[in-house]
Each structure stands twice: as C-alpha cells, then as structure tokens.
Structure 1
Amino acid sequence: MDALLVLARPDDDLTAVLAVLEGAAEVRVARTETADELDAALGKGAGAPRTVVVVGGDGTLHAAMAALHRLGLLGETTVGLVPLGTGNDFARGVGLPLDPAEAAHVVLAGATRATDLILDEDGGVVVNSVHAGAGADAAKRGEWWKTHLGIVGYPIGALLTALRPPSLHLSVEVDGTPLSLPHTHVLQVAVGNGPNVGGGTELVPTADPGDGVADVIVSMPKGLWSNLGYARDLLRGRHHERNDVTAARGRTVTVSGAAAGEEFWCSTDGEIEGPHRRRTWRVVPQAYRLIVPDGPRQAQ
C-alpha cells in the first residue's frame, strides 16, 4: 500500500489507529492546529500525491478538505477518515464504523468512492452539510452543552431553538427555481451533501455525497406548536414528510435575506459562519476519492 499521511490534532490519542496502520503501511503523522500547519503538511513539497488519513470529527475533516482544495490537490489525493469527533456525521453518512480501530482497517482494505464537494462563492468548502436558520441557531445554543456533555448538546440546542426560534424571511433558489418566496417565514434551510447532522440526526435524509447533486430542504412551520412539532419530527426522522417542508435537489443553491439588509448565520460542517446577506453554493461532482467500506453501506 502507498505511504499514508495521518492528520490529527495535537492532543488526539492515536494509539489504536497507528497499531493498525503501521502494521501494513509506511505512516507519517502530522499533528496540526492551524491552516498554515495543514498547508505545510499537505503541500507538494511534502510528497503529494498521497493517501491522507484524517483522524477526527467533522470539523477536522472540513479543515483538511479546505486545505486540499486551497492547494489544488483534491483531484490527486485519496482521503481516508477515522472518526474521532463528537458527532462524526459525515462518517455516519458514508457508512464508516465509528470505532477508530475498525475505521483504520477500512483505510487499509476499503474501496475508493468518487465523492462530491460543495463550494461557496468565496471558495469555502462544505464536506457534509450547511444549514441556516434554526440549525445554525441550535448549534450556537448547544455549543456550551456539547463542550460539557458531548453529543447530548445537540438535542438540547434543538429544543432551546424550538422554544425560541429565529425569525427569518429567506429567499431560496435551487438551480434558479424558487423554493421560498421573499415574504415567507423560514425556520430552517439545509443543503446536504451528506444526510446527518448533530450526531446522527438525518436532517436531509436523501442526501448522498456521490450522486452529483445537493439535497435541499426548506422548513416553514408557523407558531410555537408547529415549531415544537417540527423539532419532534426532526428527531424522529420524519420532518421531511411534513406539509410545511419543501424539498428539492440541484447543483446550485442560493439563499438570501429577503428583507433589505436581513442577515443570517450558517452552520457549515458544524462551524458557525456569518452573518451573511446572500450565499451561493455549487456542487463539484467527484471532487476527490474517499475510502469507504467495501460492501453495502451500513447505517450508524
């Protein structure tokens, strides 16, 4: 097998992962915290092209993919993922085992899959999903709980947001077709490359990071009881069946504040960004090769 570059944070415990990988391949470990450190580890002077193994959660994967895109190396790099985060949502969506040692075995024996990436107009990447409105609000409100309680922070943030939801009027277009009108109150907009957020909640259940399109949902419940009902159905995985939720699929998605100067925040692969008045995302099909289990995808 080709030499492996393992990317990890400085305090990650790699004992179980390296015990698997070093028995079958030459391994170099780069522990990085900043974008400059990632660029130095991944740059052509470091020996690209290569197989890069990202050890961490969705945020770590996002940072690594952003660096590969920034350096123009996506098309010549095979990416392996060993989940070591809180939510591990992208790993769940592609069927990777959540046990680090088992995921390391997939790196050695799995199959490569051409995988899509989403880019915004500034060149920023979306590996798994981006959402605005209630999803971003829930991420902000659940951040303290996530830090102290782990995965329990996700539903706490969702409940707090359902009780006091953001008030937004957003215009949403998919491939130029409107999904919401400027006067419509929107609770949440989600653009999914992968289906899961918040540690396994299927926000965009039909999203598949290998089908060449993004899956979009626009949620438009009205009033407290409708908001609570939406939160309940979201946790049950049935929100997309509601008559106040609209869905579409496409290559380009634009979200803009409908009122003059109205701003919104986004949660991009779990990282809060903004405020924005307008944002456009486009799918880059088959942007890179991802190592996945060799066989039918298993739900996590």
Structure 2
Amino acid sequence: MERSRDGKGETCRSRRVEGSDAFSSERILVLNPASGNRDHAPAVESRAVEHGFQVHETTERGDAEQIARLAANAGVSVIAVAGGDGTVHEVVAGLYDVGALAEVDCAVVPAGTANVFARRLGIADIEEGFRTIERAETRRFDVGVANDEPFVGTCLVGVTAEANTTTTDEAKRRLGVFAYARTALRLLSDYEGRPLRVTIRDEKRATDDRWSGDVFLLLVGNAAGFPAFRGLAATNPEDGRFDVLIVEDRPTADLLDPRTMARLFDDGPITRREGSALTIAARRSDSVPFSLDGELRLATEIEVRMLAQRLSVYVGRDYDLVSDY
C-alpha cells in the first residue's frame, strides 16, 4: 500500500484484496488500469487521492467484484468506479452479492471504451466524473437481474450482443467505440437470427405479452439509450420498468455505407414493449449467447426481473430522465 504525501488518500496495488481490514476510508475508488486506451490510471489516481479516496487497482477479471463485496461488508459508504461498463458491472454485482445495493453510493469516472452507463448519467469524461462526486447529487436507479446476475444498462440477445462480446481489446484501444460498429458490420451479412420465445410481464397491469420468432436483436433496456434507433429516447432508469425492443429482420441498408450504424434498424419490423419482468427462452436446445452490460453469458432460458429504485448513483449536471444522450 502507498499512502499519499498529504494523507488524504492512499493507493492499494495488492493483487487481491483479502479482507475488510484493507479499507481505511469510507470512500474508495476501484481503478481498472486496463480499461479504454490504458493511459488514464496516473491522472485518475492523482485526482482520487486529492478527493480523499482510497484507491484499489484491479489486475484481473473479477477483482472489482471482490473489492466491492469486501468494501460493502467493511462499511464503505461510497464506491467510485474508474473503468468501463464491464468494471461498473462487476462493482454492482459485488454489491448485489452481499445485499448492499441500497447501502452504498456509487459513482462513475468514465475511463472505458464506450462508457454507455456514464453517458446515461450525464458524465462525459474523467474530470466531470470527479465534479459529479463533489456535487453529490444522487438518484435511486432501477437494477435489472438476469438469471440472478444484476445489470444496470442492458441485457442483449442477438447481433449487437455478439458484437459487443467479440470485439477485441486491441481493436477497442485502436478504434474506440467504432470497434463495436466494425464488428457488428462484419457479423451482419451472415447473421441468421436466434429462434426465441419471449414473455413480457407487466406486474402493474397484470398482463403477459407473448412473442415467438427469429430474433435479429432483442434489447432489454434499463439505463440505456438507443443510438441506432431513430426517434427513440433513452430509457428511464427510475420507473421500475424495462424497455424491450425486438428486431426481427436483418436491416436492408447497404452494410458498406458508413452511415449504416446510425440508421441500422430504421427500416425493419420492430416490436416495442414495456414490462417489469421477462422470460427469454430458446426454441431449440442450443444455448443462447447474451450480454449483461457487455459481459457475455450463455443460457437456454433467461429470467429477467426488476429491482426498482434500488441503487444509489451520483448523476451528472446534464442527467435527464428521458432525453437522448
């Protein structure tokens, strides 16, 4: 462990945090130095120490989840996350595992490739992340749970999910967010869709909406936006409901046109629904790849439920419940 010269904060670079005695501050920052283009760690660490955070660096997948779990048990009150959507996902999973979603305030310092969740919070960059922490305005966000794993942004099935999870780290460092678009375009020409049965339950209205067919893309949105869908606003992450989009057909747009990703699904049949719970089941015995906040999983059936207004999150000055980002 390295202590800062002014004593305000400290940095922990141990490979694994082993117990609650590793936390000497009520405010910690989980730093993933491998996120994004990998050049953010010194600046984030310096700013975190200035703001009185104890910094814990991750060195491998799963570290952020373990740090969050142990920090919550140690009574830490604020966890900031400096990384991408995958690091945020791990921290939320750690809090969920120990039943601490409602007990710890979460902050995001965007340092990943896409930073989808940070943008939904109205946080554009690292400096804005720290300004948001000092403003200390929090909101209670919904948390989705898919097969007992939480997600804050999206649960995806289909071509976008597979593009998100097959894009290489090297491509993300070189191309940034355009790396995902390039992978999606490569998959589009051969993608045949996934045969699924989908049941969308609305507990408030006590209704079930059933759908069956071949899915090109299924998006369950919690705190998310729809940049590829013209005219659709970002989801409201505080209303206790998911936005569900089902795209059945491959888009007919020219896949070599650079504008394709901006209007990818404008001309295909889209089913849009809202609900508080879903069952997504494969119509064959094959496992279905799906992603939670960009993290790949496999299942023949996915049960999705809502934890309404469960997670306390710092929001940026530009945060808006329903506008596009």
Q: TM-score range by the shorter chain?
A: 0.7 to 0.9
Work out whether 1:209 is the aligned partner of 2:237: yes
- Give the letter aligned to residue 278 of structure 1: E
For 1:1-300, list aligned pairs within 5 A.
Answer: 3-10=26-33, 13-23=40-50, 25-32=51-58, 33-35=60-62, 38-40=65-67, 42-43=69-70, 47-97=74-124, 99-121=125-147, 123-143=148-168, 145-146=171-172, 148-175=174-201, 177-181=208-212, 184-196=213-225, 205-221=233-249, 226=252, 235-236=261-262, 239=265, 242=267, 244-259=269-284, 261-274=285-298, 276-294=299-317, 297=320, 300=325
Structure with the higher fraction of residues in helix conformation: 1
Name the CA distance, whole Å, in 2 between partners of 1:280 and 1:58: 22
Identity fraction in percent: 23
Q: Please give the TM-score of this superposition, normalised by the length of structure 1.
A: 0.83
| Contact 1:134 1:166 (C-alpha < 8 Å) held by counterparts | no
Superposed CA deviations along residues 80-112 of structure 1, whole A, max 9, x for unmatched, are 100000000011112112x20221111111410
Worse-matched range after superposition: 148-157 or 108-117: 148-157
Q: Which sections of structure 1, spanning at least 5 residues, go unmatched? A: none
Name the CA distance, whole Å, in 2 between partners of 1:91 and 1:37: 17
RMSD across aligned C-alpha pairs, in angstroms?
A: 3.0
Q: Which sections of structure 2, spanning at least 5 residues, go unmatched? A: 1-24, 202-206
- Give the letter aligned to residue 269 of structure 2: D
Superposed CA deviations along residues 172-205 of structure 1, whole A, max 9, x for unmatched, are 1110634522xx22111111112248xx656974
Name the CA distance, whole Å, in 2 between partners of 1:40 and 1:21: 16
Q: What is the total number of aligned residue pairs between the two structures?
A: 286
Name the CA distance, whole Å, in 2 between partners of 1:29 and 1:290: 19
SS in 2 for 1:283: strand
Name the CA distance, whole Å, in 2 between partners of 1:153 and 1:216: 25
The structure-2 alpha-carbon separation of the partners of 1:31 and 1:195, relative to structure 1 and needing over 3 Å to count, comes to same
Q: Please give the TM-score of this superposition, normalised by the length of structure 2.
A: 0.77
The structure-2 alpha-carbon separation of the partners of 1:102 and 1:72, relative to structure 1 and needing over 3 Å to count, comes to same
| Contact 2:64 2:90 (C-alpha < 8 Å) held by counterparts | no
Deviation at 1:47, TM superposition (A): 3.4
Worse-matched range after superposition: 35-44 or 49-58: 35-44
Superposed CA deviations along residues 15-60 of structure 1, whole A, max 9, x for unmatched, are 433544444x432111133536743564268631411111110000
Runs of 4+ in 1 over 6 A off after TM superposition: 231-234
Superposed CA deviations along residues 270-290 of structure 1, whole A, max 9, x for unmatched, are 11211x211111111111110
